[in-house]
Amino acid sequence: MNGKNAKSDRDWYIGGALLGLVVVFSFFTGHPVGTATTYERITGHILRFFSPEYVTSTVHYFKEAAPVAEWQTLFVIGMLLSGVIGRFLFVKRKGEDVPEMWAEVFGSSTAKRFVVSFIGGFLLLFGSRLAGGCTSGLFISGGSQLAIAALIFAGAMFASGIVTAKLLFKGRD
């Protein structure tokens, strides 16, 4: 750790400590951290506006739990807002919507970057709901309890991320 980056090298400590406090708070309140259900509920609200009979008769999840707005909805909205606020307050190079490494491989289109990011997030969310779980719930809440499934998932997630990065960016730093 060199002198000029000493503070930025410790930023992850602060984030980790804050995440730990969120997990402790979630256990004390009886609501483990997880967000995939919220996206499904929001989709249920939107679908119910256009076709209420479809939601109540076809979507199996809503037969068990109606699409309601609850604390998780505010949690997801808070995550979105904090991401936007953090982007404009803490990003070192203002206006860098397309990182240089991405641009070298995929081009400098901001729209393409956002579309690909959205599709990737959608596929992750869809897969987690298809599996009947939530990636953040399993990784954060399950990992904090040292659940075997969470540890296996974490290992697989990081391994697949490393392989994907190596394939996409062909060994760049």
User: DSSP letters of the chain?
Assistant: --GGGHHHHTHHHHHHHHHHHHHHHHHHHT--S--HHHHHHHHHHHHHHH-HHHHHHT-HHHHHS-----HHHHHHHHHHHHHHHHHHHH-SSTT--S-HHHHHHH-S-HHHHHHHHHHHHHHHHHHHHHTTS-HHIIIIIIHHTT-HHHHHHHHHHHHHHHHHHHHHHTT--
For 140, other C-beta atoms within 10 Å of its C-beta total 20
Decide if 81 contacts 93 (C-beta within 8 A): no
pLDDT of residue 159: 92
pLDDT of residue 95: 59
Low-confidence stretches of the chain (pLDDT < 50) are: 1-3
Q: In the numeric block, which tokens belong to residue 134?
A: 């939530």
How big is the chain, counted in residues? 173
Decide if 140 contacts 24 (C-beta within 8 A): no
pLDDT of residue 55: 76
pLDDT of residue 7: 55
Decide if 55 contacts 44 (C-beta within 8 A): yes
Tokens 């997630």 identify what position? 157
Closest Cα to residue 153, out of 166, 141, 168?
141
Decide if 40 contacts 13 (C-beta within 8 A): no
pLDDT of residue 62: 63
With 0.85 as the threshold, say if the pTM is over it: no
pLDDT of residue 59: 62
pLDDT of residue 168: 78
What are the structural domain ranges in the chain? 1-30, 34-94
